[in-house]
Amino acid sequence: MSDSFEKAFSKWKIYLALFLGLSISGGILIYSFTRSEFHEVEKGTGDYIWKDTNHNKRIDYSDPEEFIAVPNGNFEQKNAYQVLSDISWNSTTFFWIFLALLGMVGRDLGYMIRIRILTKNQLTWTQSFHVIMIWEFASALAPGVMSGATVAMFILNREKIALGKATAIVILTAFLDNLFYVIIIPILFLFIPSGKLFPSAGNESMMAVFWTGFSVFALLCIVLFSSIVLYPKLVFKLLTFITRIPLLKRFQAGAAKTGNDVKTTAIEMKKEPFSFWLKAFGATVFSWSSRFLVINFIMQAFLSLGFLQQTQIFTKQFVLWMFLRISPTPGGSGVAEWAFGELLSEFSTSVVLLGTMAVLWRLISYFPYLMIGSIILPRWLARQGKKKD
């Protein structure tokens, strides 16, 4: 298992994730900074007027063919540097960026609190930090359609938690994450119509993908809940059934033991008071809310947005997260930046500004895990090796 674990973090995977992430972020910046934009000004003070040449009844601010040079117009043309120079880089801007950084700290703090609750404080704060950072590191290297769940089970097991119990804990974290999504979405959609959460272009297809994904997560939530709370023997029976396959028979004994441990842990978990589950779910809500607020804070740093707009941005991130979950690239690279621009374009007509905010978001929410994980993992493995000796 140790060899497989180290292969999961092979250098080429780290370099691939960095290469893809940096290439896509760099590409967005280059694309944004080589575009000219048109901005509406007071009538008679600009050099251009708008003409709907493509007949979509919408002003395409970055399309030069839609603007005709005339004296005393109501639009002016700006390059990327002029757009950025118009931004007031003051203490308020840096205050909101600082809050965005704190949002990421809150995200991981929530995860650490939750893992300590689920392990009944068997992990110290230092151990919890290492577990969460390596877990996030694994997720950053894996495609969005996968997760760091297998790695998380191994890490918890190496921190002296029985593999069966570690498996049950990881299942519970997945259940709580999906429960947050399944519960909060209908509540938020009561206040904001679903039509306002998707871009007008490709609205129907995006909505179809989103609601299909939502249905899958709702079903998964039921399955995970059943495997731990309603029917603890489910994992045991599933593992023993799979290992009846001839090629997997050699894993039968280990699978049976793990299944039994999961069943025992699940039975113990069922006896926990309601307050235990409330604390675990509260930590989940805190973590995910902190994660989503990062984008809210970044956008507030550059745009003056009201409460309803901020609520709409927060809700849109449930859609954004769905596309990250189905991404085939490491850490959702490419898909994340594209979805950011598509979903949040109504709050700014500036391609330059949206591109800059998208890259800043990834710099805060993605790249740090690659760097922190690369530093922590070798030290953690070395410490585990010494324990064995």
Q: Which residue has the higher pLDDT, 246 or 50?
A: 50
Rounded to an integer, the average pLDDT of 108-119 is 95
Assess whether pLDDT exceeds 70 at residue 344.
yes
Q: Per-residue confidence at 275, pLDDT binned at 50, 70, 90?
A: very high
Q: Which positions ≥6 away from 42 have C-beta within 8 Å?
A: 74
Q: Under the phi-then-psi rule, with left for phi > 0, alpha for psi from -120 to 50, and beta for the rest, what region is 223?
A: alpha
Q: Per-residue confidence at 67, pLDDT binned at 50, 70, 90?
A: confident
pLDDT value, residue 112:
96
Cβ distance 329 to 19 under 8 Å? no
Q: Which residue has the higher pLDDT, 81 or 364?
A: 364
Q: Which positions ≥6 away from 247 have C-beta within 8 Å?
A: none
**Beta strands, E only, 179-247:** none
Tokens, residue 151: 């790695």
| Alpha-carbon distances, residue 54 vs 32, 58, 60 (angstroms) | 22, 9, 9
Which range of 38-42, 334-338, 384-388 scores highest in mean pLDDT? It is: 38-42
Q: Is 68 helix (H, G, I), strand (E, B) or coil?
A: strand
Strands 75-78 vs 37-40: parallel, antiparallel or unpaired: antiparallel
- C-alpha span between 242 and 198 (Å, rounded): 41
Assess whether pLDDT exceeds 70 at residue 305.
yes
pLDDT value, residue 386:
62
Rounded to an integer, the average pLDDT of 308-332 is 80
Torsion angle of the four alpha carbons 15, 20, 21, 25, in this order, in degrees rounded to the nearest 10: 140
Phi (first) and psi of residue 327, to 5 degrees: -70, 140
Average pLDDT taken over every residue of the chain: 80
Assess whether pLDDT exceeds 70 at residue 126.
yes
pLDDT value, residue 201:
55
Q: Per-residue confidence at 5, pLDDT binned at 50, 70, 90?
A: low
Q: What is the pTM of this model?
A: 0.81
- C-alpha span between 231 and 266 (Å, rounded): 9
Assess whether pLDDT exceeds 90 at residue 289.
yes
**Three-state DSSP string of 280-335:** HHHHHHHHHHHHHHHHHHHHHHHCCCCHHHHHHHHHHHHHHHHHHHCCCCECCCCH
Kindly report which listed range (165-179, 253-267, 373-387) carries the lowest average pLDDT score. Answer: 253-267
Rounded to an integer, the average pLDDT of 293-314 is 91
Q: Per-residue confidence at 109, pLDDT binned at 50, 70, 90?
A: very high
pLDDT value, residue 6:
57
Q: Per-residue confidence at 10, pLDDT binned at 50, 70, 90?
A: low
Assess whether pLDDT exceeds 90 at residue 287.
yes
Assess whether pLDDT exceeds 70 at residue 78.
yes
- C-alpha span between 347 and 61 (Å, rounded): 13
pLDDT value, residue 1:
46
Assess whether pLDDT exceeds 60 at residue 145.
no
pLDDT value, residue 202:
56
